[in-house]
């Protein structure tokens, strides 16, 4: 019997447990859930760690030549400022420091025009470099909203002078557009959540992560879109560009771990619905994995002369919601130099 992690699996599970002669083959691409609930049919030990009979992970896939080795580029700036009517101006040497200020929303960075432009510019350069060898190589941008998708589309078309494919839930023919993009040589695909687990576009080699979702499951699903290899003559690496958001950086450093130690199961005390939506950032962190990825620091040296001098001032005038710092105007700026740290898993 083959069954996946579906909500309607309970009757099937009851049948298999009643019959001692039955064998159950349970398959899961990522054996944990962002809501920290148990995966159907997966057994757990006393510490609530998953107990698989067999695990085929990234190292196995690389050895078999069916996946590309991921390269993660972490982008930051060394002089962020935040100005509000209530607090005044504060200065931060990193995005991590910036996001630690009160309830400042990560979306304020992702909606920042010049920061987004810098991320896209690096992505375009990386894809252009790869297309000199692989003419149909594609790039994927994961956005935060439909409005964000349309903004990124306009920016990419301005940079490249080429049409950009966008796919959102508003498109009645989204699946047809996805099929056309898969078979074409069009460079860029921009979407919110339409291209996740199960979408197979092997020509994708570069991904720019501009989503506000910062869970480990989503991070690995996004990365997986550019890792699928087309054979021995295909590229053996793929690039994921991410802002230096602390959770994303942690997830990138844990890629060597097939099942991250910090991802644990928390059984709900009252009802299962009350456990839904718990962020992975709230899970207690264990010591780092024994084998960390190779870290190559390219601070102010990202093959772009503009990165060696002070970057243009990044300013975003955004009205914060009642759930953030206050109802006053917030000004997020970056006056410093861009930094790029490259994590390799080869």
CA dihedral 168, 169, 171, 172 (to 10 degrees): 150
What pLDDT was estimated at residue 117?
A: 94
Q: Among 73-82, 145-154, 196-205, 264-273, which is the least confidently predicted range?
A: 264-273
Q: What is the pTM of this model?
A: 0.75
What pLDDT was estimated at residue 261?
A: 54
The residues pairing with 295 across neighbouring beta strands, listed in sequence order, are 343
The answer on pLDDT for 33 being more than 80 is no
> At 287, is the pLDDT very low, low, confident or very high (cuts 50, 70, 90)?
very low
C-alpha to C-alpha distance for 312 and 315, rounded to whole angstroms:
9
Q: What is the mean pLDDT of the chain?
A: 75
> At 16, is the pLDDT very low, low, confident or very high (cuts 50, 70, 90)?
low
Q: Can you list the pairs that 20-25 forms with residues at least 24 positions away whose Cβ atoms lie under 8 Å?
A: 25/1
Domain boundaries, the chain: 66-263+293-344
Q: Among 36-40, 124-128, 247-251, which is the least confidently predicted range?
A: 36-40
103-115 pLDDT, tens per residue? 678 988 998 888 9
CA angle (137, 140, 143) in 5-degree steps? 170
Task: Give the range with max mean pLDDT: 13-27, 188-202, 289-303, 305-319.
Answer: 188-202
The answer on pLDDT for 70 being more than 50 is yes
The phi, psi pair for 172, rounded to 5°, reads: -70, -25
Percent over 70 (pLDDT), the chain: 67
> At 32, is the pLDDT very low, low, confident or very high (cuts 50, 70, 90)?
low
C-alpha to C-alpha distance for 122 and 242, rounded to whole angstroms:
11
Asked if 329 and 317 touch (Cβ cutoff 8 Å), the reply is yes
What pLDDT was estimated at residue 31?
A: 67
What pLDDT was estimated at residue 197?
A: 59
Percent over 90 (pLDDT), the chain: 35
125-153 pLDDT, tens per residue? 999 999 999 999 999 999 999 999 999 99
What pLDDT was estimated at residue 138?
A: 97
Would you identify the CATH topology of the domain 66-263+293-344?
Answer: Rossmann fold (3.40.50)
What pLDDT was estimated at residue 298?
A: 44
Better-scored residue on pLDDT, 105 or 226: 226
Instruction: Give mean pLDDT, residues 80-85.
Output: 83
Q: Among 17-21, 180-184, 234-238, 260-264, which is the least confidently predicted range?
A: 260-264
The DSSP call for residue 43 is -
51-62 pLDDT, tens per residue? 778 888 888 888
């Amino acid at each position: 019997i083959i069954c996946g992690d579906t909500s309607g699996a309970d009757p099937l599970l009851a049948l298999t447990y009643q019959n001692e002669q039955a064998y159950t083959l349970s398959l899961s691409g990522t054996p944990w859930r962002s809501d920290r609930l148990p995966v159907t049919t997966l057994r757990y030990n006393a510490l609530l760690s998953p107990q698989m009979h067999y695990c085929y992970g990234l190292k196995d896939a690389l050895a078999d030549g069916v996946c590309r080795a991921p390269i993660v580029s972490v982008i930051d700036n060394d002089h962020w400022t935040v100005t509000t009517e209530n607090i005044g101006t504060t200065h931060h040497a990193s995005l991590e420091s910036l996001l630690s200020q009160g309830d400042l929303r990560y979306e304020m960075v992702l909606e920042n025009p010049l920061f987004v432009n810098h991320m896209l510019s690096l992505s375009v350069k990386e894809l252009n470099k790869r297309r000199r060898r692989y003419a149909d190589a594609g790039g994927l941008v994961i956005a935060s909203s439909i409005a964000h998708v349309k903004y990124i589309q306009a920016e990419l078309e301005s940079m490249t002078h080429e049409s950009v494919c966008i796919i959102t839930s508003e498109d009645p023919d989204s699946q047809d557009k996805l099929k056309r993009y898969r078979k074409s040589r069009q460079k860029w695909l921009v979407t919110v959540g339409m291209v996740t687990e199960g979408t197979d576009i092997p020509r994708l080699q570069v991904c720019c992560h501009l989503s506000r979702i910062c869970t480990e499951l989503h991070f690995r699903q996004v990365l997986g879109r550019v890792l699928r290899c087309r054979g021995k003559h295909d590229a053996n690496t793929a690039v994921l560009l991410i802002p230096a958001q602390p959770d994303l950086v942690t997830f990138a450093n844990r890629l060597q771990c097939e099942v991250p130690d910090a991802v644990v199961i928390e059984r709900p005390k009252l009802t299962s619905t009350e456990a839904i939506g718990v962020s992975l950032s709230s899970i207690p962190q264990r010591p780092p994995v024994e084998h960390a990825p190779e870290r190559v620091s390219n601070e102010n040296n990202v093959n772009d002369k503009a990165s060696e001098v002070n970057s243009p001032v990044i300013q975003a005038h955004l009205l914060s919601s009642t759930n953030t710092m206050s109802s006053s105007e917030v000004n997020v700026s970056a006056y410093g130099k861009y930094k790029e740290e490259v994590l390799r898993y080869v």
